[in-house]
Amino acid sequence: MLFLVLVSLPACRDAATDDVVATARPHASSRQNLPKVVLFVIDGPRYSETFGDTAHTYIPHLWNDLRPLGTLLTDFRNEGTTSTNPGHTSIVTGTWQTIANDGSEWPDKPTIFEYYRKHTGAPQQDSYVIPGKDKLKVCAYSTHAEYGTDYGATASVGHVSDVAVYDALLSVLANQKPTVVLVSLSDVDEAGHSGVWSSYVAAITGADSLVWKTWNYLQQDSFYADQTYLFITNDHGRHDDAHGGFQNHGDGCEGCRHLTFLVLGPDVKADHTSDSRFMQRDICRTAAQILDIPAPYAEGIIMQEIFESPPTGIKTKAPQ
């Protein structure tokens, strides 16, 4: 089945040599039963409107459907710069990135995509960045001398709505079968900046629906079912009411630092909630552990507490 799917994609490989096609197929099929990672970022809700709301008014699927399947961390934090590009690149590099927030500056430490591709030799279509903001193209690769563009992710850029990001994500998952994906929904942040509360909370509920649909898609695709780790988190929160309220963000107040974190996957503890403190920069090394790849410049820790047992990891070499 997988063979047929890949062979049905020659349109995008017309220019490829037979050699490339011959190496791409065994590589993709070798990933069939190995771990995958989807980093699902909802840009900029406050914790007080997600898991910090005891009624969970705006996140019915995250609370009722997804939380029982995974591990919820209630003290997960951005202790770096609480704006969009620094937050996203801190997630993918495992280091606190203080880069410009306008898309003009790339991270200086390698991303999870570069670690994955350099270690495994995977082609570019095995890793994807699918954001709702053009400026997040900087998540695809770093300026690090040992890594960089040669090992970057495919970036699907465009300033688009959450529904359009979701549609792009499903198309990529169905057709390209990437192993490592960052997807980012922007509507919550943009609605928050508008200052209209009803739009802001409606966007949170919209994102809640799309992450639930994403999980359901993953579980009915044999390439992803029962072998995909879905991390659901944020780049930053928004000001708490004592520091300006929900419209903006970017300082060190508790509202800006406190993030959503829920993770689901084969070795992840189900129906588990922990108040242990973890950081946004811990995601990269944890994802690298799942993929069984080194992440030598990442500074976070591996979040062992989320796992039932150490994950078995990806096998990057054929048996000798």
Site residues for Zn ion per CB under 5 A: 43-44, 84, 189, 235, 239, 243, 251, 253, 256
Rounded least distance, CB 236 to Zn ion, Å:
6
Nearer to Zn ion, 232 or 268 (CB): 232
Nearer to Zn ion, 35 or 44 (CB): 44
Q: Cα 194 vs. chain centroid, distance in angstroms?
A: 25
Nearer to Zn ion, 251 or 267 (CB): 251
Rounded least distance, CB 22 to Zn ion, Å:
42
Nearer to Zn ion, 259 or 302 (CB): 259
Rounded least distance, CB 259 to Zn ion, Å:
11
Rounded least distance, CB 270 to Zn ion, Å:
30
SS (H, E, C) the chain: CHHHHHHCCHHHHCCCCHHHHHHHHHHHHHCCCCCEEEEEEECCCCHHHCCCCCCCCCCHHHHHHHHHHCEEEEEEECCCCCCHHHHHHHHHHCCCCCCCCCCCCCCCCCCHHHHHHHHHCCCHHHEEEEECCHHHHHHHCCCCCCCCHHHCCEECCCCCCHHHHHHHHHHHHHHHCCCEEEEEECHHHHHHHHCCHHHHHHHHHHHHHHHHHHHHHHHHCCCCCCCEEEEEECCCCCCCHHHCCCCCCCCCCHHHHEECEEEECCCECCCEEEEEEEECCHHHHHHHHHHCCCCCCCCCCCCHHHECCCCCCCCCCCCC
Rounded least distance, CB 162 to Zn ion, Å:
13
Rounded CA separation 228/63 (Å): 20
Q: Compute how many other C-beta atoms are within 10 angstroms of the C-beta atom of residue 136.
A: 25
Q: Could you tell me if 77 and 280 are in contact, meaning their C-beta atoms sit under 8 angstroms apart?
A: yes
Rounded least distance, CB 200 to Zn ion, Å:
13
Nearer to Zn ion, 122 or 259 (CB): 259
- For the chain, the C-alpha Rg in angstroms (whole number) is 19
Nearer to Zn ion, 189 or 282 (CB): 189
Nearer to Zn ion, 85 or 124 (CB): 85
Rounded least distance, CB 38 to Zn ion, Å:
19
Rounded least distance, CB 188 to Zn ion, Å:
9
Select the residue whose beta carbon is closest to Zn ion and give its number.
84
Nearer to Zn ion, 53 or 292 (CB): 53
